[in-house]
Amino acid sequence: MAFLTSPELERYDRQIRIAEIGKTGQEKLKKARVFIAGAGGLGSPISIYLAAAGVGAIRIVDRDRVDVSNLNRQVLHWNDDIGRAKADSALAKLSRLNPAIRMEAICDTIIPENVAQLVAGFDLIVDAMDNLPTRYLLNKTAIEKNIPFFHGAVHGFEGRATTVIPRKTACLRCMYRGPIPEETFPVIGVAPAVVGSIQATEVIKWIIGIGALLENRMLVYDGLAMRFTEFRIQRNPSCDHCSDSSGKD
């Protein structure tokens, strides 16, 4: 177990006081290795809160450079960062937020040829992408590696989240009907702030082993109505990602 130092005990005192966390939970967070796909609207709050919570190692991957149109929601990146690789910008902010954790940022496109190597050695995958094909690629990779996958997505004032435990719960692909046209989606920053915080909460709960995860539950957030709605989802026995026969010829 990763023992906590005196500075760490002081830094995380307010969450160690939570009965469900305690020193044991904080040690689990310190030992955890989290992979975050995307340093944008969702990746910003996810990485900020997981770094602040003391997750021991975080790798964040993003291929893009900061654009002025990102700044309404991607709070890791500031005006001075326009034109800078998001990975570099994220690393600079998160390292300053919590210098005690191992923080790594990679500027790369997540593709079938590199995804296994990118996530190798990590305990879980957090989905903070902005397109469905990469989300599905990460979903499949998580199932193949038997590690959990924390999904979140946003549109406008709306968002959703679910947690996938391989071959136990419905996965992102279980309700797949076919490709969906890509779009430049509308979004206001508070939507990914809410959904990203939910994803980070799920990650913390899973690492420590507390609470009830969003298993087989799609939580839908409507910021305009200020309402959360929960839908039940089920594993698809014919799912090409997570069925027992998937991946077999």
Partner 1 sequence: MGVHVHIHKTHRVATDGKDMVQAEGNCVGECLEHLVKQHPGMKEALFDQKGNLRNIIEIYVNHESAYPDELKKTVREGDEIHLTFMLAGG
Contact window for partner 1 (CB under 8 A) among 5-13, 23-31, 92-100, 175-183? 175-183
Round to whole Å and give the CA distance between 29 and 173: 29
Is 9 a binder of partner 1 (CB under 8 A)? Answer: no
- Compute the least distance from the CB of residue 232 to partner 1, in Å: 5
Closest to partner 1 by CB, 14 or 232 = 232
Round to whole Å and give the CA distance between 176 and 2: 41
Instruction: Write the interaction track for partner 1 spanning residues 18-47; mark x where CB under 8 A is met and - where it is not.
Output: --------------------x-xxxx----
- Residue 98: closest CA among 38, 2, 193, 30: 30
| Binding residue for partner 1, selected from 153, 194, 198, 203, defined by CB under 8 A | 153
Is 187 a binder of partner 1 (CB under 8 A)? Answer: yes
| Binding residue for partner 1, selected from 107, 222, 240, 246, defined by CB under 8 A | 222
- Chain centroid offset of residue 248 CA: 29
Closest to partner 1 by CB, 83 or 156 = 156
Round to whole Å and give the CA distance between 242 and 239: 6
Round to whole Å and give the CA distance between 246 and 184: 32
| Binding residue for partner 1, selected from 16, 192, 242, 243, defined by CB under 8 A | 192
Round to whole Å and give the CA distance between 119 and 15: 28
Round to whole Å and give the CA distance between 77 and 202: 24
Is 86 a binder of partner 1 (CB under 8 A)? Answer: no
Give the three-class secondary structure for 36. Answer: strand
Is 236 a binder of partner 1 (CB under 8 A)? Answer: yes
Contact window for partner 1 (CB under 8 A) among 19-27, 207-215, 231-239, 241-249? 231-239
